[in-house]
Structure 1
Amino acid sequence: MAALVRAEVNAGFFGLVAGRLDRAARARLVRLLVVDPVSRRSESDRLKDVAKAASLGKFKQRLALHSELDAIGPAGVWLEGVPAGKVAHFAGEARVTDAADMRKVGTDKQLTLPAGFVHTVATRVRDDVVTMICKRIAAIHKKGHDHLESLREAHRTETERLLGVFGEVLAAAREAGAVAPPDAAVPGAVVGETDGADAGGCRGRGPMRGRPRAGRAAVAQDARACFRSGSPERSTSGMILLWVGVI
């Protein structure tokens, strides 16, 4: 009894789907069952091999297959009103039935089963394409994030070094201001003039890039000589000397 009811319900769905197919759509679905005499495989057999793991290397193949399935026709429109469970059942039956046995069933069923199979395969192919696109975007995002982290790490050391140098400049300026305020000029001294040691100190020792920390201390000592001269111009020159000499 249940088998008779099931057969009657299925026959109703077969007639519903077949009635929506025009002549061109019928020809395309029937062509899926034609066996190639060379390969001894039909187009429906080739569609059965689609169920493989989605990978980025097969992206173009999936796009081409999606175009071929769309060219067959709007299977979703043909199956409108058919429950999803029935569509999956029709697709499963078409998958396990070869082309020779499919041609032995009724015309309506012969058209409905491939239509359900095409619809199921097209849905899976679209899901695979979306999955591949998401994987590609994730890979690009990860590559960009890794590159950004490498740039940050490369510049972090230089930034920390420059901050340390700037801290030494500020410390030297505070120390010089505490020892010899700018208005404590030496009586009889000409503004802008220092003795030979101070003048040598104000000339600096050249760029400090690559020198050891002791060399930086020497530059700081030269700058302090400028600060102690009591001249605002020399104090400014000492700060510029210390800052420029170490970067």
Structure 2
Amino acid sequence: MKKKLVVLSGAGISAESGLKTFRDSDGLWENHRIEDVASPEGFARDPQMVLDFYNARRKQLLEVEPNEAHLLVVELEQYFDVHVITQNVDDLHERAGSTNVIHLHGELRKVRPLNSLTKIITWETDLHLGDMSTAGIQLRPHIVWFGEPVPEMEKAIEICESADIFLIVGTSLQVYPAAGLIHYVTEKCGVYLIDPNLENSFVQQENFYKMSAVEGMRKLTPVIKNQS
């Protein structure tokens, strides 16, 4: 039986494909205040602006490709039972070929009715006011906004509890509840961290790769393969 490798990924891995991250520029996301485009209150105030914002994000996503870090995560499936838990709303892990992906914060290429967490619809084009579910309810982006529950969290916790190796790549471990997943791995679990900006207080120094996602995955992949 293959060992279980759990990968927790964040914005840093997507940034190397050309997707911008809101934490890189004074808390603004594409020149918008986060609370205006990533909260239920923001949507209630100006739904058209919020829909336009995510339409632009969806369009940008279709213009980029998975990078080497995504592909190296896929390569590890040859050696491990790999589960990706991502804070990212893009589908770059899936497009790279990862087969087990949990999106904690939702997905850009999916929508749902305003009154449902579970009626999720694949959506490839722009979303507009007046786009309704079959029950006549306005559709919204399938994104977990600030202040909303994280439906996939319990499943993510269960996966972490049974991990043999836990790899954190491209996340600052500042966004909760996702950042708390590190506390659910066992003492026997090997924990590795790739991030160019963090001051390491999470893992043993020899398991901390203070570098970009691509560079870190290049260096760490052979190390992890040796543990299969």
TM-score of the superposition, structure 2-length normalised? 0.25
More helix by share: 1
Which fold has the larger relative contact order, with Cα–Cα distance below 8 Å and residues 6 or more apart in sequence?
Answer: 2
More strand by share: 2
